[in-house]
Structure 1
Amino acid sequence: MISLNSAVTDFIPQRAPFIFIDRLVKADEQMTKTEFSVPYQHIFVADGQLIEEGLIENMAQTAAAGVGYRQLSEGREVGLGFIGAVQKMIIHQAVPAGSSIYTVVREETTFAGVHLISAEVYDSQEDHLIANAQLKIFLKENG
């Protein structure tokens, strides 16, 4: 039986060192939420901070984890997804290595395998918005 406490690699196709979420906090049809503790030694940490590409991948993996969780809950295999576009990206503050972030993704619309999502990244206290963006994700649904 699949649960939110399962390993995140059950929900996403990515593997180390390309993992940008640690824990799936919530996943339903409206919203997905993940937590990520930024390691000091990570592929997208430079000068002690998570770089922009790391934030984008964190947003995309949060979306993928929610979809993967729902697919597994329905007895289907986790599908592959690809970032098609990033729009309206605003980074409000840097994310230092060693800190934790929470990412919230909401699906705005879906058409023909293209998912338009809005994403917000918050600090560990969830009181400061770190970054937000819209992403177009192309998803290949399995089974």
Structure 2
Amino acid sequence: MEKTLLLEKNAVENLLPQKFPFVMVDKLYLFTETSLVAGLEIKEDNIFFDNDTFLEAGLVEHMAQSVALHTGYCFFLRNEKAPTGYIGSIKEIEIKKLPKINDEVQSTITILQEFAGITLVNIVTTLNNEEIANGQMKTILAK
């Protein structure tokens, strides 16, 4: 299924607290109040790229930044500045396959619970419609 691109690289980067070279999301495909689909095309200049492979740490960071993008876009839609968020916990991340150079991964986040600035999300990451990673994260907004 071909996805429609909502935001591209520059707009996405403006919604994330991370800056180059630490940005691990470059596309926003889908946004609802409880979900988001974000993408990343893996380039040679990526700091988590090594020996023709995108490393586990990069995949986990892509997943976390997909969550951050959801928060950033929510605040953007309300014309407010997004607060900084932190990973509170990571639960059962399973990585089945690592992407290569020029691959594009997509992460779908689904908000399971949200209360008092703490958000629990489920994340599924795919490569060419094949699930390559999944897990849950709890994020916390700074006060």
**TM-score (norm: length of structure 2):** 0.89
SS at match of 1:68: helix
Structure 1 residues not aligned, in runs of 5+: none
Percent of aligned pairs sharing the same letter: 26
Q: Which residue of 1 aligns with 2:73?
A: 69
Deviation at 1:46, TM superposition (A): 1.8
Q: Measure, in 2, the Cα distance between the counterparts of 1:4 and 1:70.
A: 14
Contact 2:120–2:136 (8 Å) recurs in 1: yes
SS at match of 2:6: coil
Matching residue within 65, 89, 94 for 2:98: 94
SS at match of 2:140: strand
Q: Measure, in 2, the Cα distance between the counterparts of 1:26 and 1:10.
A: 17
Structure 2 residues not aligned, in runs of 5+: none
What is the correspondence of 1:32-43 to structure 2 with a 5 Å cutoff?
32-43=36-47
Deviation at 1:8, TM superposition (A): 0.6
Deviation at 1:121, TM superposition (A): 0.5
Matching residue within 81, 86, 111 for 1:82: 86
Amino acid at match of 1:131: A
Deviation at 1:99, TM superposition (A): 0.6
Q: Which runs of 4+ in 1 moved over 4 A?
A: none
Contact 2:63–2:107 (8 Å) recurs in 1: yes
How many residues align structurally?
137
Amino acid at match of 1:106: T
Deviation at 1:10, TM superposition (A): 2.0
RMSD: 1.6
Q: Measure, in 2, the Cα distance between the counterparts of 1:80 and 1:60.
A: 13
Amino acid at match of 1:82: Y
Q: Which residue of 1 aligns with 2:17?
A: 13
Matching residue within 95, 119, 137 for 1:135: 137
Deviation at 1:28, TM superposition (A): 1.3
